[in-house]
Amino acid sequence: MTEPLIYDISVPGRCGVSLPGVDVPETPLPTELLRKELDLPEVSEMQVIRHFVHLSQFNHSIDKGFYPLGSCTMKYNPKINEDMARLPGFAHLHPLQDDEGAQGALALMFQLQTWLAEIAGFKAVSLAPAAGAQGEFAGILMIRKYHLDRGDTQRTKILIPNSAHGTNPATVTMAGFTAVELPSDENGDVDLQALKAVCDDTVAGMMITVPNTLGLFESHILEVVKTVHDCGGLMYMDGANMNALMGVVKPGELGFDVMHYNLHKTFSTPHGGGGPGSGPVGVGEKLVPYLPGPVVVMVEDGTDDEPPLYGLHMPEKSIGRLKAFHGNFGMHVRAYTYIRINGDEGIKDITRYAVLNANYLRVKLQDTYHIPYNRYCGHEFVLEGHFGDAPDIHALDISKRLMDYGIHPPTNYFPLIVPEALMIEPTETEDKQTLDAFVDAMKKIAAEARENPDLLKSAPHTTPVSRVDEVRAAKQLVLCCRPIPEWAG
């Protein structure tokens, strides 16, 4: 199945919009400054709709079927969220509107900051980061500035367990630090001896994911936090896996100094085929002055007759702006809606059932697949996608074969510490029937791997395209279907 490129269905002279005429006296255009032509497609509105509807049908999505992509929290995205973000008072609000004229938006942001701080036990939250990776970056920059402000200039290292998300080491480098990798012990926890050995006055802090990327809650978390704090370092928690923690434990209370939230994971804002995300950061007392800005503050308390007055504020020693304006506000509206509807009990249930679902799948699959570190997991777990008696079959083949069963593959080859890793995260919104169907499919595939391995090696068979030639894509780069004419480049 293929769909022509939008340019390929273009017909000269066609247009997909109707526009008004010029209702003011015209001004001559500065001809010497103008471009020669504009190579955009010429198509009708219906052609556009059909084209993109066809394309949409080539995608797997949460709305279409099970999406157990580990570490990505592909939960159901409630439809009300979309309607709320599109309310004219939000969608058509200019970012540089005077604070007095944006009180509704600012009140919403203030409330969301407060709720997020409460959920994770932090003193303050900034909604500025545009994505989780930016939240991480902000967190590490805050740690950097905190040490520098105290004249503590020899701290150049950030410790990262080897089970960390790939973004963590990249973030550390971007912020000008050196990443020092820590090994895991036989239980999948941070190796405490190794940690103690590297902790000295050159350590600026540690980045750790809780639960870690094996889906396991760090058994000695308090000791890890204390060890790093004792050498003067600060603790960063990657909050990508908050879906396993809400109502169960507050990272701020465990001693973490800073953490980012992924609104597009935990708080149901859609993933959008790769963004937009939103990655607010929460901090303890020490780092409040360093938050990225602007943040929303209450300028005047409310009275019985008057609501409070909110305003945008740049924290005193802020690491600065992370993007223009104030974060991905449209995502803030969706997360606010989600927390409001769920309320205290609903938020707790999210974690309870996310963890129940993951453990149910783990137990149901443990006899068919090898599960290293097999203990109670959080919201996800990792199994090995290969079999001793079917040596040619790899995790990738199992993944591709799952597509034929209408299921999106789990996360492949991550974390790196498990060979042939398949990382499975069902989320709380999947029902028992879906989970059972997934278990059936995984068991059938395990049988197929022995009986008919070619069926897996050549999978998928039912998708719009078969496996693609990535070498060709990388070597003969074709990134644009319209060669740029001589005059334009």
Among 186, 301, 304, 475, binds another protein (CB under 8 A): 475
List C-alpha distances in Å: 34 to 25, 26, 40, 486: 20, 16, 16, 16
Does 226 participate in binding another protein (rule CB under 8 A)? no
Peptide bond into 460 cis (omega under 30): yes
b/e burial code for range 121-137 (CB count within 10 A of at least 16 → b)? bbebbbbbbbbbbbbbb
> Which member of 202, 219, 368, 374 binds another protein (CB under 8 A)?
219
Site residues for another protein, window 262-281 (CB under 8 A)?
264, 268, 270-278
Strands (E), 229-351: 234-239, 258-261, 281-283, 295-300, 309-313
The answer to whether 284 and 225 have CB atoms below 8 angstroms apart is no
Give CA–CA dist 208/196, Å, rounded. Answer: 15
Candidates 151, 153, 391, 477: give the one binding another protein (CB under 8 A). 477
Per CB under 8 A, 27 contacts another protein: yes
For residue 297, the minimal CB distance to another protein (Å) is 17
Which parts of 367-406 interact with another protein (CB under 8 A)? Answer: 375-376, 399-400, 403
Q: Candidates 66, 102, 199, 227: give the one binding another protein (CB under 8 A).
A: 102
Pairing of strands 421-424, 381-384: antiparallel
Count the alpha carbons within 13 Å of 385 in the hemisphere toward its beta carbon.
Answer: 27
Per rule CB under 8 A, count of chain residues that contact another protein: 208
According to CB under 8 A, which one of 126, 218, 373, 397 is a site residue for another protein? 218
Burial class (CB in 10 A: 0-12, 13-18, 19+), 220: middle
Compute the least distance from the CB of residue 170 to another protein, in Å: 4
Between residue 295 and residue 354, which ones bind another protein under the rule CB under 8 A?
319-331, 333, 336-337, 339-350, 352-353
Among 126, 171, 213, 266, binds another protein (CB under 8 A): 171
Closest distance of CB 365 from another protein, Å: 11
Contact 189, 179 (CB under 8 A): no
d(CA 378, CA 381): 7
Distance CA 65, CA 60 (A): 7
Question: Binding to another protein by residue 104, rule CB under 8 A?
Answer: yes
Q: Which is nearer to another protein, 406 or 450 (CB)?
A: 406
Identity of the residue numbered 366: Q
Q: State the nearest-atom distance from the C-beta of 171 to another protein, in Å.
A: 4
CB 428, min distance to another protein, A: 5
Please report, as a single letter, which amino acid is at residue 373: Y
**307 or 450: whose CB is closer to another protein?**
307
Minimum gap (Å) between residue 429 Cβ and another protein: 5
User: Between residue 180 and residue 209, which ones bind another protein under the rule CB under 8 A?
Assistant: none
Q: x-or-dash pattern for another protein, window 112-141, by CB under 8 A?
A: ---x--xx-x--------xxxxx-xx---x
Among residues 126, 163, 167, 266, the one that binds another protein under rule CB under 8 A: 167
CB of 480 to another protein, least distance (A): 4
- The distance of closest approach from Cβ of residue 224 to another protein in the complex, given in angstroms and rounded to an integer, is 11
Query: Under DSSP, is residue 394 helix (H, G, I), strand (E, B) or coil?
Result: coil
- How many other C-beta atoms can be found within 10 angstroms of the C-beta atom of residue 344? 11
Closer to another protein by CB, 168 or 450: give it: 168
Sign, CA torsion 28/29/32/38: negative
Q: List, edge to edge, every strand of the sheet that includes 421-424.
A: 381-384, 421-424, 411-412
User: Does 469 sit near another protein (CB under 8 A)?
Assistant: yes
Whole-angstrom distance between the N-terminal and C-terminal Cα of the chain? 34
Of residues 55-84, which lie at the interface with another protein (CB under 8 A)? 55-64, 67, 69, 72, 74-78, 80, 82-84
- Rounded to whole angstroms, the Cα distance separating 239 from 293 reads 20
For residue 46, give the 3-state DSSP assignment.
helix
Q: Which of 284, 287, 286, 251 is nearest to 266 (CA)?
A: 251
Instruction: Give the nearest distance from C-beta 442 to another protein in angstroms.
Output: 15
- Does 421 bind another protein (CB under 8 A)? Our answer is no
Nearer to another protein, 348 or 450 (CB): 348
Q: Look at the block and give the residue holding tokens 């780092």.
A: 287
Which string of x and - marks every residue 284-303 that binds another protein (by CB under 8 A)? Answer: --------x-----------
Based on CB atoms, which residue is closest to another protein, 272 or 450? 272
